[in-house]
Amino acid sequence: MKNVFLFEAQGRRVELRAIDEGIFRVRLSATGKFRESMLSRYGILQEQPKDIEARLEDGVLQTGRFSLALSGESLSVSGEGHSLAFTVSGRGGEALSEEGFRLSLGLTEKERLYGLGDENRDGIMKRGRVATLWQTDYIGYGPIPFLMSSAGWGILVNCTYLHTYDMGASEKNTLVIDAEKGALDFYIFLASDMKGVLQLYTDVSGKPVMLPKSAYGFTFVCNEQANAKMMLEDCAAFRRYGIPCDIVGLEPGWMETHYDFSVDKKWDAERFYLPYWEPANYTGIFSFCYNLRKMGYKLSLWLCCDYDLLYEEEGEVRRRTENSMEGRLIKDEHLHYSVSMDRITKQGEPWFEHLKKFVDNGAAAFKLDASQQCLEHPDRLWAGKYFDDEVHNVYCVIYAKQMKEGFQNYTGKRALIYTPCLYAGTQRYAASWAGDTGGGEGTLTSILNLALSGHANASCDLDPTDPKSIHYGFLMPWSQLLGWRNWHQPWLLGEELEEMIRSYSRLRSSLFPYIYSMAHLTNRTGIPLARPLCLAYPDAPALDALRNEYMLGDSLLVGAFDMHLTLPKGKWTDFFTGKEYEGERELDYLPPKGKGGALFVKEGSILVMQEPMSHVDAGFPEEYLVHIYPGADTAFTLVEDDGITYDYEDGKVFETKMEMTDSCKEGFTFTLYTREGEWGEKKTEEAYDVNTMSENHIANVPDAPAVSGFTVMIHGDYIVEGAEATSENGTTVLRISKEAHEAGVLSFRAVKK
């Protein structure tokens, strides 16, 4: 079906695209030619037109449910209860040109605006303020040109130049988007609610990447002064002290040259010794990477980058010209090549190429420091032809893209790539952390703003000296503790903090089945794992201002820092104490001893857990723990995959669906379905040998897990009809063997005593 329509209107070239029901793209050109934004040219934004019926008549693009009409400087969009009226012009309201644009939109009195990424940390609801989208250090790490409304529409401005959003600050009921440079090119998303808008937006900008299993465990980054022995002793101590830990990271001190921006970097030979008689990619029994593998750890390496990544994206290699020496009396080799001011980039060598030997050593994660990513390069000509004002915002996305794709193409596996610097599309390649801003309240605001902008795998540097930060940091989509220049190993912080970190790390490990299954849901839908309450409860404007609460998946409500809480509608159970609270009320919460904040479970929840493991890659549990909180109908799907490959993209996962139905005051019906799905095939016949092969060898893929058993724990006193159940401290316990689970669908009626 045709979905792209080109025509002339008022001396301008117009392109309208109907990508899906509810997704339009609009491009206007004053010159008759369209110049692609770098987001489109480099495949960061990817349109996948659906088979929908679209037709253009008299400047009106009509699909089944929506229409888009252009008349003069007015652009209107309508359908399914939407009625949007845009005004398009050149910058400052002048005639449209290729040098900037202005886009304005009328707002209704009550609609609220969200998104724009980590462009500020002052609040979540954006209406009434002005935002500048230009990546900067500290606050402004991750501006994202996507804005959405509580009225169920969103807009993605396909521009990498600096531009501003006046969201009713100058004129109360008008949104004005002003760009200094670039052509007018934007997407419109229309849905029934904000969750629907996010799903449509991430259809174009990319769904959040599914990280490796280990990334959803716990990451510890060593002190920069650490050497191999200190790192290994820290790793052994986590196991000895019973603190689950999955990834260990090294800061810049791992390099022979501190902050080495080049592609010639090496291990510091004294601090991270590898046998000189072995190749640079050695990973055998005389390497510290062997010891990490034996203890079940993945290795993360810090990186800095100022490489010209655009040569690779442009798909061209600049060749040095061979100047003829004929006719010269003196043959000076200094005149034998072209001169480049860029002394770092090796044209023709992709950035990831030099990292392959470290991947062979065992590096399975990379921390992309902000370093020079967020700095302007006013005199740089990227790829020999692009100025920095166009490249600056998008460079970080290109960096994440080449790291993710480089690792995937080389190993066939997932890596934890994480960066503080973001723009539209970063979510499809990398996770993020809140930069060098610690683990305080401001970082939570940034993470929630990113969640409302399509970027879900966000975290911070949790502060292990602050119980509030420990609580919040372990209840993020992914969790890390940064040593850097501090000696923040838990066993060096005193008994109270050590025990708190142990308790929260074990809690995170036990919640892993729930967190990982929710991460799969995020990857499929774009709905974030850590959800601001304005997204989870869009019909409650009073929750807009809350920056101390968020939903972690469908069932868990986290209260962080400020314990003056507002509970949304419904009944909530304190995860730590079992005490029940009615919603739609304010609450001054006192955390139990050893806890740093609040954690509530929503009524009508199925919360699947496991016994804590030393690391989440240790294996699959023989038995899952299913906590049922009655009160409403619900469903949960437990997702299992190999944890390291991209087979899940081809549907190679196991899924076990559970349902709670027919809920009423007297009871409910619980149904456990049989496990469905398939497991990916081994990529090689070669057996994995921990003594000689890198952790990243594709042969190191786990076999399909056996069908598991379940211990079902219903919170409350119930009689389970047709099954043998016991009562333990106000909880009804029902055990389901793996044989019973494998035999067929199981359904039980639970009646309240």
**pLDDT, position 68:** 96
- Does 96 have pLDDT greater than 80? no
**pLDDT, position 30:** 84
HSE-up (13 A, CA, CB side) for residue 295: 23
- Does 334 have pLDDT greater than 80? no
- Does 110 have pLDDT greater than 50? yes
Report the C-alpha gap between 11 and 29 in whole angstroms: 9
Over residues 455-490, the pLDDT tens digits come to 999 999 999 999 999 999 999 999 999 998 899 999
- Does 317 have pLDDT greater than 60? no
Over residues 7-52, the pLDDT tens digits come to 888 788 999 999 999 999 999 988 888 889 999 999 999 998 888 9
Instruction: Give every CB contact of residue 708 below 8 A, 6+ residues apart in sequence.
Output: 620, 621, 622, 623, 624, 738, 741
- The reply to whether domains 4-205 and 605-640+646-679+706-752 share a CATH topology is yes
Other Cβ atoms within 10 Å of 319 Cβ, number: 9
Which CATH number applies to 605-640+646-679+706-752?
2.60.40.1180
Question: Residue 145 is which amino acid?
Answer: P
**Of residues 343 and 41, which shows the higher confidence score?**
41
Q: Which overall architecture, per CATH, does domain 213-315+351-525 show?
A: Alpha-Beta Barrel (3.20)
Report the C-alpha gap between 444 and 110 in whole angstroms: 26
> What is the CA 687 to chain-centroid distance, rounded?
33
Calculate mean pLDDT across residues 486-510: 97
Calculate mean pLDDT across residues 129-152: 95
- Does 322 have pLDDT greater than 50? no
**pLDDT, position 589:** 98
Token pair of 339 as six digits: 């001169």
**pLDDT, position 315:** 82
**Of residues 226 and 326, which shows the higher confidence score?**
226
Over residues 208-253, the pLDDT tens digits come to 999 999 999 999 999 999 999 999 999 999 999 999 999 999 999 9
Calculate mean pLDDT across residues 348-354: 96
Over residues 358-379, the pLDDT tens digits come to 999 999 999 999 999 999 999 9
Residue percentage of the chain with pLDDT more than 70:
97
**pLDDT, position 729:** 87
Q: Where does the pLDDT of residue 308 fall: very low under 50, low under 70, confident under 90, or very high at 90 and above?
A: very high
Q: Where does the pLDDT of residue 99 fall: very low under 50, low under 70, confident under 90, or very high at 90 and above?
A: confident
Calculate mean pLDDT across residues 578-592: 97
Over residues 589-607, the pLDDT tens digits come to 999 999 999 999 999 999 9
**pLDDT, position 323:** 46
Calculate mean pLDDT across residues 288-301: 98
Q: Are strands 746-752 and 667-672 parallel, antiparallel or unpaired?
A: antiparallel
Residue-range domain boundaries for the chain:
4-205, 213-315+351-525, 605-640+646-679+706-752
Report the C-alpha gap between 11 and 428 in whole angstroms: 38
**pLDDT, position 138:** 82
C-beta of residue 348 within 8 angstroms of C-beta of residue 360: no
- Does 97 have pLDDT greater than 80? no
Q: Where does the pLDDT of residue 347 fall: very low under 50, low under 70, confident under 90, or very high at 90 and above?
A: confident
Q: Give the least confident one: 31-45, 115-129, 329-343, 478-492.
A: 329-343
**pLDDT, position 325:** 46
Token pair of 335 as six digits: 């005149």
**pLDDT, position 329:** 62
C-alpha distance from residue 638 to each of 610, 680, 693 (Å) = 12, 18, 32
Calculate mean pLDDT across residues 344-356: 94
Residue percentage of the chain with pLDDT more than 90:
87
Q: Where does the pLDDT of residue 331 fall: very low under 50, low under 70, confident under 90, or very high at 90 and above?
A: low
Token pair of 591 as six digits: 């955390």
**pLDDT, position 343:** 85
Over residues 522-566, the pLDDT tens digits come to 999 999 999 999 999 998 888 988 999 999 999 999 999 999 999
pTM for the whole structure: 0.96
Q: Are strands 218-223 and 479-484 parallel, antiparallel or unpaired?
A: parallel
364, 202, 135, 255: CA torsion to nearest 10: 10
Summary mean pLDDT of the chain: 94
In CATH terms, the fold of domain 4-205 is Immunoglobulin-like (2.60.40)
